[in-house]
A and B are shown apart, each in its own frame.
Chain A
Amino acid sequence: MIEGAKWRRWVYFYIPLGVFVLWLLFPFYWMLVTSVRPDRELYRPWMAPNYAPFWTAHPTLVHITDLLTETLFIRWMANTLFIAILSTVISLFCGLLAGYALSRLKFRFAGTLGTGIFITYLVPQTLLFIPLADIIRDFQLGDTPWALILTYPTFLIPFCTWLLMGYFKAIPRELEECARIDGATRWKAMLYIIFPIALPGILSAGIFAFTLSWNEFIYALVFLSSAEQKTVSVGVTSELVRGDVFFWGQLMAGALLGSIPVAFIYSFFVEHYVAGLTGSVKG
């Protein structure tokens, strides 16, 4: 902490922190205000005498009801949830096994394999979608949720594997050895000792994977074409921007509602999540 006179705390800590928080939260505030602002205020030119961009005197829920009734937003939410949950489960399962094997088992090429997995994570999605599109077409998965459920793990598995590898390495080897002497097979030692201890790490890998697939844009944009198959991020931007007409109110309402599940998950697991990233196992 900052020591000395009280003003030092304000100058060096609270004020910079306050500015930082305002800076981060402003887009969300803008999103909220825009989504409840009536259209006549939204499209008022900025030089008009009663222009008040940061506040509205006549809040309305019309954009939100429009979004829920006149667009496929609920369908998009359901699609996104289904895709995000399934791809997270697949990635977490593979990541757990791969992370454990790479950090704990001694076998030839373990190091090379680990690096190989990491390198696949470094290939940008903006390049990878081209060959993937070809594969998706060959398997006739285009315009189905499986196109995304099976492609998201290409970047989620390396991510989960590396995060969990680091976490498993931090768990003292003796714990597992002791369990194996105590009568547990390697599987049981993994299940009863290693995984429960690594729970914060597993949770943060899961949350991260979920968020990444929830927010993913480019694969969803390329692999899905019909409106009822779309995910939130693609659906909102493609269906609510028609030509050069931006339905700002509905766009912002969609963005707001679309970020609620992620925000909810984060706030629910925030303590585990922080512990997972700072990676501390206390014996």
Chain B
Amino acid sequence: MARVLIRNLNKFYDKDVHAVKDVNLEIRDKEFMVLVGPSGCGKTTTLRMVAGLESISSGQVLIGDTVVNELPPMDRDIAMVFQNYALYPHMSVYDNMAFGLKMRGMDRGEIAKRVQDAADILGIGEYLKRKPRQLSGGQRQRVALGRAIVRHPQVFLFDEPLSNLDAKLRVQMRVELKKLHTRLNTTAIYVTHDQVEAMTLGDRVVVMRGGVVQQVGEPLELYNSPVNRFVAGFLGSPAMNFAPVAVRDDDRGLRADNRGFAIEVPAEIGPRLRPYAGRDVILGVRPQDMQVANGSHPPGLCFDAMVEVVERLGAETLLDLQVGDQTMVASVEPTVGAKRGDKLRFAMRPERLHFFDTTSEAAI
């Protein structure tokens, strides 16, 4: 069991591509840490540097108390699961799982026992004699997991392990991964571009963009108080609505308005937003935080909108709205019988509004 410490980690490709910029992270012992971000954000490169598959341009990676910068992958006591499973096609499932143990010179009896244990945990006991090509995608992924867990490594590394599975299986495997982690209780670093996986699996989540860590925290912390517009827009589905607003401070109090709406700034945000009076900022509101107004909502947070598209998902209904010259998405109760072209009045939940600086995009 070990923690992983990443200090001032940098990666340059060919001197001019700066793929990972000064990353500092501490992955605590037994923690499930998820690195998430759009493709090309440096998350996979960071993981590969931890694995030893990519050289470190500058900075340090520590596993336990050892600096592993110069250690070859085999000596880092890690196991990795790849997106395309990377099963050895010429070996049976059993040999795939036993390979790492054989390489380490473990005796046959112990290998057989460990493989059997792992196979039981993952429910692949009956496929041990098959070749990878005779297995379905989900079974292959289990074998890849099994190959990692037989090793009893200090750290698990996952590189988008669920991306090649179909949607239904992905949800199922996600739950199993979570269970597996609870059971094995080993430090894990998990890379994904899927924010749902990040939110559901991670004890903590790291959001990256352009090689830079944007925010580190527990999933709900990131969801509820994103530090910038990027994190706010990346987490949550459908994505947060953003609208440029002008902040005004006059005798009617602090207001934020644009062509579509004018809202009173809730008291708790007031002190932070007041310095921006007379300037433009970006308002962020999640689709789930917009409701159809029913008279009980404070009028200062209401605005009119025209329904452009109705998407009925069953559990919720998504309305694409035209608000002034903006389009916004609202997630409403399926009982709302809105049609295309309807004019509706919406209310925002005051405690769930986010404001971002226009230039720095940092949360206000």
Contact = CB atoms under 8 A, between A and B. Distances in A.
A177 B87 contact: no
B37 interface: no
B88 interface: yes
A283 B82 CA distance: 12
Interface in A87-105: none
B104 A183 contact: yes
Contacts of A75: none
Contacts of A72: none
Given A183-B100, A183-B104, A177 B89 contact: no
Contacts of B80: 177-178, 181
A175 B86 contact: yes
B116 interface: no
A178 B48 CA distance: 11
B89 A283 contact: yes
Interface string A122-162: 00000000000000000000000000000000000000000
Interface in A175-198: 175, 177-185, 188, 192-193, 196-197
A155 B55 CA distance: 37
B206 interface: no
Interface in B256-313: none
A53 interface: no
Interface string A192-224: 110011010000000000000000000000000
Given A174-B82, A175-B86, A182 B133 contact: no
Contact of B103 (A183, A197, A281): A183
B78 interface: yes
A177 B104 CA distance: 16
Contacts of A193: 88
Contacts of B93: none
Interface in A228-283: 281-283
B73 A180 contact: yes
B175 interface: no
B133 A283 contact: yes
Contact of A177 (B53, B76, B79, B147): B53
Residue from A172, A183, A192, A282 whose CB has the most chain B CB atoms within 10 Å: A183
Residue from A181, A183, A185, A283 whose CB has the most chain B CB atoms within 10 Å: A181
A177 B132 CA distance: 18
Nearest to A184: B103
Contacts of B52: 181
A174 B86 contact: yes
B51 interface: yes
A182 B100 contact: yes
Contacts of A175: 86, 88
B84 interface: yes
A196 B90 contact: yes
A185 B100 CA distance: 11
B72 interface: yes
B103 A182 contact: yes
Residue from A175, A185, A199 whose CB has the most chain B CB atoms within 10 Å: A175
Contacts of A199: 90
A20 to B, nearest CB: 34
Nearest to A171: B89
Interface in B61-115: 72-74, 76, 78-80, 82-90, 99-100, 103-104
Contacts of B86: 172, 174-175, 177-178, 283
A188 B90 CA distance: 15
Which 4 pairs between the two chains have the least Cβ-Cβ distance? A182-B100, A183-B103, A174-B86, A178-B86
Interface of A: 172, 174-175, 177-185, 188, 192-193, 196-197, 199, 281-283
7 contacts: A172-B84, A175-B86, A178-B82, A182-B74, A182-B99, A184-B74, A282-B133
Interface of B: 51-53, 72-74, 76, 78-80, 82-90, 99-100, 103-104, 132-133, 147, 151
